[in-house]
Chain A
Amino acid sequence: MTRVYGLSRDLDLWGDLMELGKKETQSQQNTENNPTGLKILWSELRRDKLALFSLILLIVIVVFVYGISFVMNQDEIAKVDLFSIHKPPSKEFILGTDYGGRDVFGQLIIGTRNSLSIGFLVTFLSGVIGVAFGLVAGYFGGHIDNILMRVLDFFQVLPFIMLVIVFVSIVPNYTIIAFSLIFTAFSWMGVARLIRSKALQEKELDYVQASKTLGTSHFKIIFREVMPNISSLIIVTMTLNLASNIGLESGLSFLGFGFPESTPSLGTLLSYATNPQTLEHRWWIWFPAAVMILVLMLAVRNVGEALRRATDARQRRG
């Protein structure tokens, strides 16, 4: 009797547990119904008309530039034509020609493509280094953090532009890959600092402590647990960085230390304006490139700022 009673009680308990389990899954489903990071980013973007417009504009520019440069005959553009030097805009050349008689419009398209590509590449590379560095420093804290941050301080105080220029000028067999690596070597610090301060907060949270207690390896906690949790911050930082990297690249190319001469960038077109004659009388060579850089940087920033607001619940508009 007692046994049966006991069994039935056990069964009751079992039933209660099942019930509890159901509730658990329900509440889990509820949290899944809550907007996740990416959804918040998207809804914020949709509510900010300027950012949405910027995003569409960016997509249009990217598709247009990559599409056209695919179809366009690039040798044709790079060919020097001495009979059509410095032609103002006309039907044949929409944006006129430069000192070699080359079509400025074609160079603008290819330059935009090159500037964007290098921007994406450098942002990605410096993002990877910065995120890893920041996560490790923030997660471990203490002495490791202290040492890593002193290294970071040192890199950050160095005059970035000068060192890139020096490295670019002494590297033998200078290529675009070499350029992006040098660029990356001096541009990961901002990301690292931001991610580190976030990781410092994150490691105090219960899930990290729980994982540690369970004996999960540091590597797994850092890259499989903490990193996904701050992914929205990473996306925001990288977006804002893309804007500044496009600006920095065009600046370096403007000074003549960016892309090799054979590949035009937006900065290359602007560098023609260091010739006073060109600056004063031939606006069609440099002004469109200047406008293009501004449009790109502002548009990327608009998107980035909207995303940044989305990661901070207090600033959200949606």
Chain B
Amino acid sequence: MWKFIVRRLVITFPQLILLSVLIFLLAQAMPGDALTGLVDPNIDPATIDEQREKLGLNKPWYEKYIEWVGGVFQGDLGQSFRYKIPVTDLIEERIVNTFWLSVATLIFTYMIAVPLGMISGRYNDTILDSSITGYTYIGFATPLFIFALVMLWIFGYHLQWFPTGGSVAPELKPGTLEYVLSRIQHLLLPALSIALIQTVSTVQYLRSEIVDTKQKDFIITARAKGASESRVYNRHILRNSLLPIAAFFGYEITTLITGTIFIEQIFSFPGMGQLFIESVLQRDFSVVNAVVLLFGAAAIVGALLSDIILSIVDPRIRIK
């Protein structure tokens, strides 16, 4: 097991380095640098060049890269071209929103996946099972953004059960109970929209896992010992099937990132995804780079965590 974990870690570092090089090269290819927008057009070009030299903008790319990485490790992601404030300040407020959106989404995803997968697997080939399978089939084919638009249209505008945008009602003050409730209320519809689509793969996995396990010898033994049907399912089968699913959360991060970009745009939810799209449209590339770096690193680390957890729960995955 340790061997697997070490090997997996060894693979992760080159991935992170590659990601940072990729983003750095992208940044070089993007128009504009730290001086963009700060310079008064009337200043003599020679003075600008002097300033560039002073700031180290004329150095060869590898020196700049090392400086940049050093900055990232000290929490310096550069200045926003547009707002003239450190990128970290811009991200700080947004990342909290996206974090809670992701947490809510993951909770909903598992809340939907576990019961549906269990029912579908336990009573397989019944009407109940085929309707759940039908849902997963359609869910697989439905693009998230279309589903979210329809959800917003029905529950946000027509039925008006949920707010249609923002992360909190504007007149409330932080710290009060109403504030927290309002935030939760703003989270529900976006999180549910992602979860209902994202959950289908987990439902399918759980179903096939249970259908498989049902016929294994140790289940027949458990039945022969006289364990009740609910005990067989809850204690014997679920214990085997739930852990791998719980470990999937790391892989879900990549899906979640894609999800938040669409969802935050549709529900005008002020998170990282919206910040990303806004910054791209405003050509504020220092912010774009920072967001891609953070999300990319999150996806890589997420996959690492899932692989490690899976290797602990499922010995078949370990390398001999």
Contact = CB atoms under 8 A, between A and B. Distances in A.
Nearest to A267: B145
Nearest to A168: B280
A159 B142 contact: no
Contacts of A273: 149, 153
B149 A255 contact: no
Interface in B19-34: 19, 26, 29-31
Contacts of B165: 276
Interface string B142-157: 1111100110110001
A251 B263 CA distance: 11
B72 to A, nearest CB: 17
Nearest to A295: B141
Contacts of A167: 26
A297 B146 CA distance: 12
A59 interface: no
Interface in A35-93: none
A255 B149 CA distance: 13
B146 to A, nearest CB: 5
Interface string B261-284: 110011000000000110011010
Contacts of A159: 254, 257-258, 292, 295-296, 299
Contacts of A294: 141-142, 146
B287 to A, nearest CB: 12
| Chain A: interface size category | 35 or more
A270 B145 contact: yes
A280 B153 contact: yes
Judged by DSSP, the binding face of B is helix
A259 interface: no
Contacts, number: 104
A280 B265 contact: no
B15 A161 contact: no
Interface in B285-305: 285, 288, 291-292, 295-296, 299-300, 303
| Chain B: interface size category | 35 or more
**Most central of B11, B143, B144, B254 by chain A CB within 10 Å:** B143
A251 B18 CA distance: 27
A279 B265 CA distance: 14
Contact of A290 (B15, B146, B288, B296): B146
Contact of A276 (B11, B164, B295): B164
Contacts of A111: none
Contacts of B150: 290
B135 interface: no
Contacts of A290: 146, 149-150
B140 interface: yes
Nearest to B143: A247
Contacts of A163: 292
Contacts of A153: 11, 15
Contact of B149 (A160, A286, A301): A286
A165 B283 CA distance: 12
Contact of B30 (A161, A170, A270): A170
Interface in A256-299: 256-257, 270, 273-274, 276, 279-280, 283, 286, 290, 293-294, 297-298
**Most central of B26, B141, B276, B303 by chain A CB within 10 Å:** B141
B143 A251 contact: yes
Contacts of A205: none
B138 interface: yes
A4 interface: no
8 contacts: A157-B303, A159-B254, A159-B257, A270-B146, A270-B149, A273-B153, A294-B142, A298-B141
Interface of A: 150, 153-154, 157-163, 165-167, 169-170, 243, 247-248, 250-251, 254-257, 270, 273-274, 276, 279-280, 283, 286, 290, 293-294, 297-298, 301
